[in-house]
Amino acid sequence: MNGSTIDSQAISAIPRASAPSEPSGAAMPESIRAGQLAIEAFKKDVEAVVSNDDLKQLDRLPILRQIKEDRKLKLHDTDIRKMMHDARHRGRAPFEPLTSGDKLKRAKTKWLWEGIIMASQINIILALAKTGKTLFILQFLAALINGEDSFLGKKLSANDNNQHILICGPDMNEADWAECLDTSGLLLNDELIGDGQIELLTAEHTFNLDDDGIDFIASKAQQHPGLIVLLDSYTKAMEGMGYQDKDTSYGDPLSALADAVAPWGATVIVIHHVSKGNRNASPVLAGRGSMRMSEIASWIVKMQFVKEESIDSSSDGLVTGPRKITTTGRGRSIELIAEMDDDGKWHGGEALEMLVKQLQEEEKKTILL
């Protein structure tokens, strides 16, 4: 959807369900019977919208919202999404549960970067401004495509150094991207390295995660199975689309993207922001806006300054020093320390326990003084 306005012709073109015949059984109050009939009719509308391949994914919920208003139904978006889910799965084969004696298949989690970036899944990178999120991911990508064994002490996949990389970067203009890419070793003589292995969209391309943007990424995923997508940032990619970050619908484009690229095993890395008020929250709760994004992601990476005073820096540039990296998802969690130097380069830091102990000792000395 390229805007918040839905074409009235698109709505009128959808076959509208007539009210179903009255249910048999004992008599019930007229108000309840009317409500039941209206809900059943709306469910038929949902089926018509979900099964219409001519409708864009992001247009479907707004269309159903309009039909709901026309029918004067008081339904929340969560109710409509549940109906859409049921409509998609209606008519599927009956369940055949596994039982005692059946062997269960195991699937080992595949990592592009062990414990940090999960392959073929949605990964979200959360941090405050000036934390170095973009350089963190770009330098990982540089290490990956250069065939290095590890980065920041964590193993890299040995089989993915030839993967195609698509950077959708509406958060920065071309000149700023050039600086970041050069710092990360992804530019050579001001040209992207590799033989067409990396593609870049900048702020000048006015990329949005609307239907056109999702279709574009999906076409690249189909063309390059195992594609690595960097979306920087989600907030900027959603700009002007009529979504509010506090609404549960804020995560809908990310969900649609996940569905669109899943058949080709694409890895999606989404850079998102936290507010200062949420900086100490868990990775699941720290992201700006609705929690729905955390629900969609398979793996969440949260970066924060080890020294709290770093967030009050008045500098316009990146803040140097150590960061605590906390990752979580699928019942697991990992912590490590990484550090950014004055040149914007990331390095493996001290062991978390040693650094925390050092900071605690410094705090004790300060108190004694």
**Model confidence over 157-203: pLDDT tens digits?**
988 888 999 999 999 999 999 999 999 999 999 999 988 999 999 99
Q: How far apart are CA 349 and CA 188, in angstroms?
A: 28
pLDDT above 90: residue 208 = yes
Q: How far apart are CA 169 and CA 208, in angstroms?
A: 10
Q: What is the pTM of this model?
A: 0.74
Q: Return all residues near 24 (Cβ < 8 A) that are at least 6 apart.
A: none
Interval 210-263: pLDDT, tens:
989 999 999 999 999 999 999 998 999 999 988 887 777 888 899 889 989 999
Q: What is the per-residue pLDDT for 103?
A: 83
- Of 126-130, 152-156, 318-322, minimum mean pLDDT range: 318-322
Per the CB < 8 A criterion, the answer to whether 236 and 209 are in contact is no
CA 46 centroid distance within chain: 26
Per the CB < 8 A criterion, the answer to whether 303 and 279 are in contact is no
Tokens standing for 297?
Answer: 């992601």
pLDDT category of residue 1 using cuts at 50, 70 and 90: very low
Who has greater pLDDT, 319 or 272?
272
Burial class, 203, CB count within 10 angstroms (exposed 0-12 / middle 13-18 / buried 19+): middle
Per the CB < 8 A criterion, the answer to whether 250 and 256 are in contact is no
Q: How far apart are CA 70 and CA 283, in angstroms?
A: 40
- Integer Rg of the chain from CA: 24
Q: Alpha-carbon torsion 126, 128, 133, 134, what sign?
A: positive
Nearest to 341 by CA among 315, 362, 323: 323
Phi-psi region of 287 (alpha: psi -120 to 50; beta: other; left: phi over 0): beta
Q: What is the per-residue pLDDT for 132?
A: 92
Interval 275-332: pLDDT, tens:
766 666 555 555 555 567 778 888 999 988 887 655 554 456 677 888 889 898 876 7
Strands (DSSP E) contained in the chain are: 111-113, 117-118, 122-127, 150-151, 154-155, 165-168, 187-188, 191-192, 198-201, 228-232, 267-273, 299-305, 321-329, 332-340, 346-348
Strand partners, 192: 187
